[in-house]
Amino acid sequence: EPEVTQTPSHQVTQMGQEVILRCVPISNHLYFYWYRQILGQKVEFLVSFYNNEISEKSEIFDDQFSVERPDGSNFTLKIRSTKLEDSAMYFCASSSTRTTTGGDGYTFGSGTRLTVV
C-alpha cells in the first residue's frame, strides 16, 4: 500500500533556528497538506498546496512558515525562526482529488515530532 513518508521522525532544535520538515507524498497525488498537533490538543490544518502554489493557509501559517515542492517528489515545511510554541507533531498528507471523500481521500504520514528548546 502506498505511503506518505516523513523525515525525520523526531527533531530537536534550538529556539530561533530554522528547521525543514520533509515529506514524500504518494507519487500520483496532486494535493498536499500540512497539519500540526500540539501535545494534548487537536490536529489543526496549516496549509494546502496544489500546482506548485499554496491553495489555502490557516491563521497559524504566518510568515515564519513556508512550503515548497523543490524537486517533484519532496514536499517540505520550513519554519524560519522556531519558537517554543512551535513544538508539536507535524503531519503531512496527500490526496489524489480535490474532494475529501473522492478517490483515495487523504493519506497521512506518520508525523515529525518537533521539539524546540
55's grid cell: 491553495
11-50 residues in contact with another protein (CB under 8 A) are: 31, 33, 35, 40-45, 48, 50
18's grid cell: 530554522
Cβ proximity to another protein, 13 vs 37, nearer residue: 37
**Which one, of 101, 94, 114, 100, lies nearest residue 24 by Cα?**
94
The H helix count followed by the E strand count for the chain is: 0, 11
Cβ proximity to another protein, 32 vs 116, nearer residue: 32
Cβ proximity to another protein, 40 vs 70, nearer residue: 40
In angstroms, rounded to a whole number, what is the distance separating the alpha carbons of residues 37 and 49?
19
Cβ proximity to another protein, 7 vs 99, nearer residue: 99
Instruction: DSSP letter for 74, please.
Output: -
47-76 residues in contact with another protein (CB under 8 A) are: 48, 50, 55-56
Q: Which residues bind another protein (CB under 8 A)?
A: 3-4, 31, 33, 35, 40-45, 48, 50, 55-56, 91, 95, 97-101, 105-111
